[in-house]
Amino acid sequence: MSINRIKESAMINVLMLGASGVGKSSMIAAMYDEMRRNASLDVHLKCATPGLQKQLQSKLDAMKNASGTINNKEGIEGTSGKTSYEFNLSASVSEKSKLGIRFTDIPGGWVEDDNKEADLQNELCNSHIIMLPIHAPAMMEQEGLNHKKINKPDEIQWFLSEQIFQRQVLILLAPVKCESYMLKQRTLLLQRIQEVYEPLISGMKNNPHVALAITPIETMGNMRFESWKGEQDYYYRVGRQAYAPRFVEQPLCYALSFSLNMYLNYQRSIYRRCLDGLPFISLDKDLKKATERLAGKIKTRDNGFQLIQGDHLLRGVRS
């Protein structure tokens, strides 16, 4: 039974394209926990179903209790197939939600599967935001030896380059498991992403409908990359440091910033019927204020973040 099922017309859809094991479900669990615990973020996030809440809590328990060396096979990650994570947003815990956000996890292998072409295209057409979680150690270590196999950058970039975006879209390049590089190698991490994803960045450069940003996420905070053993990645806990994720709320901040900007343009537009299905149509005053405050917290040009293009498509951007 759903807690409060949001109408599809009030749903922000985020499509996540990335291989199994990159760290998507861990990132979602960390974001959910951060939004529950951090009152300064203004917006309250609720799981749309009890089943999702139980699933994410199990994931959180595994991350918070991790000690010593961990790897993906120990249960921190490892989902496969299409998975949806649906949340309801409200201005407070007690208020009824009128806005939802759905993260749809599509394995990167779908872009190579002709049998999934129609399904993938349908998911893309229904999405406002496209998120590419990037396994950072696969890209950064051993001269990127495991990058192509794990992140599938060529296939994903080819798929996106084939799209003709004539509607507003936000694309997020989101390196995860990047704690090892965020202290002293942020510049190198940014440079590497720009090199590897240059075809995508160049291909979208002249499209005024596309906003593009690099948004690193430290899913656990206290873990560092240790080594590759074959194709398996291992991590170690730093001393006795507790679970302390950073920037896990940023995908949500970007999503709200982008969607709010569309909503405000919608209010001013004489062509409203062309924007049917836009989120926020039934947004109440309190939730609008709360989402606007959270949208204003997006990071665009510091701590390894970079808004590459599309300032005009985001709300609350500070130069």
Given a cut of 80, whether residue 81 has pLDDT beyond it is: no
Contacts 24+ apart (CB under 8 A), 190-197: 190/214, 190/304, 190/306, 192/139, 192/140, 192/144, 193/134, 193/139, 196/139, 196/144, 196/147, 196/153, 197/132, 197/153, 197/157, 197/173
The whole-chain average pLDDT of the chain stands at 84
Summarised one tens digit per residue, pLDDT across range 188-208 is: 999 999 999 999 999 999 899
pLDDT range class, residue 78, cuts 50, 70, 90: very low
Give me the pLDDT at residue 92, please.
Answer: 72
Given a cut of 70, whether residue 57 has pLDDT beyond it is: yes
Summarised one tens digit per residue, pLDDT across range 99-147 is: 889 999 987 678 888 888 888 888 998 898 999 999 999 999 998 888 9
Structure tokens at 58: 């199990």
Can you give the pTM of this predicted structure?
A: 0.89
Given a cut of 90, whether residue 149 has pLDDT beyond it is: no
Summarised one tens digit per residue, pLDDT across range 161-197 is: 888 898 899 999 999 999 999 988 999 999 999 999 9
Give me the pLDDT at residue 179, please.
Answer: 94
Summarised one tens digit per residue, pLDDT across range 10-32 is: 789 999 987 777 888 899 999 99
Residue type, 174: A
Kindly state the percentage of the chain with pLDDT values over 70: 84
Fold of 8-313: Rossmann fold (3.40.50)
More confident residue, 8 or 243: 243
Given a cut of 70, whether residue 222 has pLDDT beyond it is: yes
Given a cut of 70, whether residue 91 has pLDDT beyond it is: yes
Burial letters 256-274, b for 16+ CB under 10 A, else e: bbbbbbbbeebeeeeeeee
Give me the pLDDT at residue 1, please.
Answer: 36
- Beta carbons of 147 and 22 less than 8 angstroms apart: no
Give me the pLDDT at residue 93, please.
Answer: 66
DSSP 3-state percent helix, strand, coil across the chain (nearest 5): 45, 20, 35
Give me the pLDDT at residue 7, please.
Answer: 61
SS3 303: coil
What does the domain layout of the chain look like in residue ranges? 8-313
Give me the pLDDT at residue 75, please.
Answer: 39
Given a cut of 80, whether residue 156 has pLDDT beyond it is: yes
Rounded mean pLDDT, 23-47: 88
